[in-house]
Amino acid sequence: MPETDLLSPAAAGKREQTKAQNRRAILDAARAVFADMGYQAATVRDIIRRTNLSVGAFYNYYRSKEEVYEALSDDGARRFRPILAAQYESAPDFQTYIRGAVRAYFYFLVDEHNSWQSGRDPADRYPHVHSETPEMKAVYDQVRWSIADVLAKGQGPLVDVDYLTAACIAIAREVGASMVERDPIEVDDAVEFAVQMILGGLPALPRVTP
């Protein structure tokens, strides 16, 4: 009989809580280690030393620092998704949605920057920006659906939604990554640049049939 079948509901709940706490401890430790040392220089042992877990306990959750890196990517994307959804809910048109989404994303990056600021490379500090994970795919799908819905309601030009989504995300990623490398960080200037790049290019795009 599997061990889980022998556990009472209370014991099973406690076990799941412990697992969640251990995963969070590993991610928090990895975030600190990657910030201090950079992703390339960091090792699994460096991460374990920042936790109260044994080596064996670590490997119960992650097989490598690459898996931890991907988990941090998912964690960042997961935390951003409700922020992005709120921008869609409050936007009356395409321009407002794009401006709100870009602004929300850039402020999210600034918050991430404050906790990863010692990293030696932008890719070390912002794995959720550069890694393709299930949660990142969910962010893409959410942006695509929001753009398609806004355009379908006649609140923007009918263009290729897949290309437009990819372009909006790419511009936000690259401008945002450049923004946080500046001192001081000027969020409003970066937002205006990215938004005008997106909106300024729309008139030249070929239209599609509804």
pLDDT tens, position by position, 44-91: 999 999 998 999 999 999 999 888 988 888 888 888 889 989 998 888
Judge if 72 and 38 occupy the same domain: no
Last residue of a domain, one of 63, 80, 113: 63
The domain boundary residue, chosen from 9, 39, 63: 63
The mean predicted confidence, pLDDT, of the chain is 84
Residues 114 and 92 in one domain: yes
Q: Give me the domain span that covers residue 9.
A: 1-63
Indicate whether 88 and 59 sit together in one domain: no
Any idea what the Cα angle at residue 151 is, between residues 145 and 156, rounded to 5°?
140
Please give the tally of structural domains in the chain. 2
Query: Do 13 and 25 sit in the same domain of this protein?
Result: yes
Categorise residue 206: left if φ over 0, alpha if ψ from -120 to 50, beta otherwise: beta
Higher-pLDDT residue of 210 and 178 is: 178
pLDDT tens for 126-135 read 444 445 677 8
The per-residue pLDDT for range 93-141, each reduced to its tens digit, is 888 999 999 999 999 988 887 766 544 444 444 444 445 677 888 889 9
CATH of the domain at 40: 1.10.10
- Domain C-terminal end among 63, 98, 114: 63
Q: Say what the pTM is.
A: 0.75
**Same-domain check for residues 28 and 78:** no
